[in-house]
């Protein structure tokens, strides 16, 4: 009798247990419960929480062979720190006097068209030998700190307007770039900028360093002209410097590096799908890999997207990546071959200290993003696996959160944003989506992943690729007043 009752209730127990497990998976993912804490250490302490205030870009920890730096940024202007006597007001350095306080409506927008936005302040701090981050500089705009591989040269790429006199006397429109060669004790404004043709907004540059003095920067390639007899070389959008940015070479190609929507229509198998966007180049994203002193590669990925005429709720996606091989002997870099591959879109590309090149490849269609390792001899991609998800083993889709993707000697670290669609019978009103972030690391170049106990939203502060250590903090300034900056050792 008891056995028969148990057997009758078993299906309900199983369904109830499965539902509880499912709700636990969603809750633990959403609230970021779990994750490991390998070799946790304290990197240092800030004196003011504003020093470690994180934003979506240009903030975090930068470790070099000569020092450890922390960049924080506050928006709104309501919590501005008083500078210590030893710190430098970089606004005063550039303009000759501190920038006057501005009302939010008086601050120019990103595009400079007078649209109001809140003021922001960037704080640059350096770790001293007592484990304290000392405030060394302040700038009244967004600013990215980058360093040469040996740590001897620092560049601060800011959103400050050029001084009024300079704007009249030179044709450049790039925002202010500052340089320090004495570990932040002094800074000088570079009137010539840093790769000014690559991006006028200095903090939007993503310089790629190779060796001691070589730097690359890029923007989108020049599109081909309409005239069939126009055979003039076209800019690849890539710039190279052999002297830490003091001078640079713009690289040109005789062959076009971009395709247009006609190519997508011809090669996608969806003839006519992109005909309503003639001449469009779609979304364009470039990357550069220097293989050695004589060889380099420019990767130009394009994504074309349009509505599926058969299914209004679905988009058609077609990707193509162009590979331009560069070579030099005794002279400048030149393009020696241009090849195209339909299918992959390189969303992000990183290089480890020992030369391993890892990319995130998004396929055409709606397939998952793949982690791929470059075969440096064949210049082909070896697929390693899919991006990790906080919802695993539930079905979900994952993408890179911001540019938080790093490669070390043995560790690969990624910050993902994942989405899960609960079954429709749980939501009678229609399709629902649950999203969550997570930080993961891999010791086999993306074939398997382990989650870290780090806040997936602005929790990771940077990565020491030499020591395979991830820097992190316990929440951002508005939800945690913990003054510590910590690290995990990934083994």
Paired tokens of 344:
């992959």
- The reply to whether 292 falls in a domain is yes
Distance separating the N- and C-terminal Cα atoms of the chain: 56
- The reply to whether 195 falls in a domain is no
Give per-residue pLDDT as tens, 341-385.
999 999 999 999 999 999 999 998 778 999 999 999 999 999 999
Question: Would you state the torsion angle of the CA atoms of residues 323, 327, 331, 333, taken in this order, to the nearest 10 degrees?
Answer: 20
Give per-residue pLDDT as tens, 275-318.
556 668 999 999 999 999 999 999 999 999 887 777 766 778 99
Residue 25 pLDDT: 75
Q: For the chain, what is the domain count?
A: 1
pTM (2 decimals)? 0.90
- The reply to whether 291 falls in a domain is yes
The answer to whether residues 267 and 289 touch, using CB atoms and an 8 Å cutoff, is no
Cβ neighbours of residue 348 under 8 Å, at least 6 residues apart?
A: 359, 360, 400, 403, 405
Residue 413 banded pLDDT, cuts 50, 70, 90 = very high
Give per-residue pLDDT as tens, 118-143.
789 999 999 999 999 999 999 999 99
Cβ neighbours of residue 241 under 8 Å, at least 6 residues apart?
A: 195, 213, 214, 215, 216, 247, 248, 249
The length of the chain in residues reads 491
Cα separations in angstroms, 344 against 137, 215, 290, 446: 42, 26, 20, 17
- The reply to whether 182 falls in a domain is no
- The reply to whether 247 falls in a domain is yes
- The reply to whether 432 falls in a domain is no
Cβ neighbours of residue 168 under 8 Å, at least 6 residues apart?
A: none
CA proximity to 365, closest of 232, 270, 266: 270
Give per-residue pLDDT as tens, 461-491.
999 999 999 999 999 999 999 999 999 999 8
Give per-residue pLDDT as tens, 201-229.
999 999 999 999 999 999 999 987 554 55
Residue 451, CB-side half-sphere exposure with 13 Å CA sphere: 18
Give per-residue pLDDT as tens, 364-376.
877 899 999 999 9
- The reply to whether 257 falls in a domain is yes
Range of the domain at 265: 219-343
Residue 20 banded pLDDT, cuts 50, 70, 90 = confident
Residue 170 banded pLDDT, cuts 50, 70, 90 = low
Question: Measured between alpha carbons, how far is 264 from 257 in angstroms, rounded to an integer?
Answer: 14
- The reply to whether 324 falls in a domain is yes
């Amino acid at each position: 009798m008891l056995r028969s009752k148990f057997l009758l209730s078993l299906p309900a127990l199983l369904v109830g247990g499965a539902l509880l497990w499912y709700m636990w998976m969603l809750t633990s993912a959403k609230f970021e419960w779990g994750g490991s804490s390998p070799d946790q250490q304290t990197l240092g302490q800030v004196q003011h929480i504003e020093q470690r205030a994180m934003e979506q870009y240009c903030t975090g920890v930068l470790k070099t062979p000569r020092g450890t730096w922390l960049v924080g940024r506050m928006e709104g202007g309501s919590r501005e720190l008083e500078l210590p006597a030893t710190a430098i007001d970089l606004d005063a350095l550039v303009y000759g006097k501190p920038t006057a306080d501005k009302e939010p409506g008086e601050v120019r927008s990103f595009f400079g068209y007078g649209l109001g936005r809140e003021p922001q302040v960037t704080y640059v701090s350096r770790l001293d030998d007592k484990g304290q981050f000392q405030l060394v500089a302040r700038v009244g705009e967004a600013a990215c700190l980058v360093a040469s591989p040996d740590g001897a040269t620092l560049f601060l790429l800011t959103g400050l307007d050029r001084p009024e006199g300079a704007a009249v006397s030179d044709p450049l429109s790039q925002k202010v770039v500052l340089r320090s060669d004495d570990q932040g004790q002094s800074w000088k404004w570079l009137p010539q900028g840093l790769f000014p043709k690559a991006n006028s907004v200095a903090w939007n540059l993503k310089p790629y360093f190779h060796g001691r003095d070589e730097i690359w920067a890029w923007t989108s390639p020049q599109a081909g002209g309409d005239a069939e007899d126009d055979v003039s070389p076209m800019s690849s959008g890539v710039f190279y410097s052999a002297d830490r940015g003091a001078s640079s070479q713009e690289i040109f190609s005789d062959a076009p590096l971009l395709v247009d929507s006609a190519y997508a229509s011809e090669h996608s198998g969806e003839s006519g799908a992109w005909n309503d966007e003639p001449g469009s180049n779609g979304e364009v994203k470039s990357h550069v890999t220097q293989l050695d002193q004589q060889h380099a590669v420019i990767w130009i990925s394009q994504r074309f997207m349009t509505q599926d005429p058969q299914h209004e709720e679905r988009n058609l996606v077609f990707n193509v990546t162009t590979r331009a091989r560069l070579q030099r002997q005794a002279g400048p870099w030149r393009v020696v071959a241009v090849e195209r591959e339909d299918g992959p879109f390189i969303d992000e590309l990183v290089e480890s200290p020992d030369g391993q090149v890892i990319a995130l490849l998004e396929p055409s269609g709606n397939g998952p993003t793949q982690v791929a390792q470059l075969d440096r001899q064949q210049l082909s991609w070896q697929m390693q696996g899919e991006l990790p998800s906080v919802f695993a083993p539930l079905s979900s889709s994952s993408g890179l959160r911001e540019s938080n993707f790093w490669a070390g000697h043995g560790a690969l670290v990624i910050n993902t944003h994942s989405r899960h669609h609960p079954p429709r019978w749980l939501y009678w009103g229609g399709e629902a989506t649950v999203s969550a972030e997570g930080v993961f690391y891999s010791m086999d170049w993306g074939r398997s992943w382990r989650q870290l106990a780090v806040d997936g939203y602005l929790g990771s502060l940077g990565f020491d690729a030499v020591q395979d250590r991830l820097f992190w903090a316990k929440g951002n300034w508005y939800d945690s007043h913990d003054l510590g900056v910590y690290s995990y050792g990934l083994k």
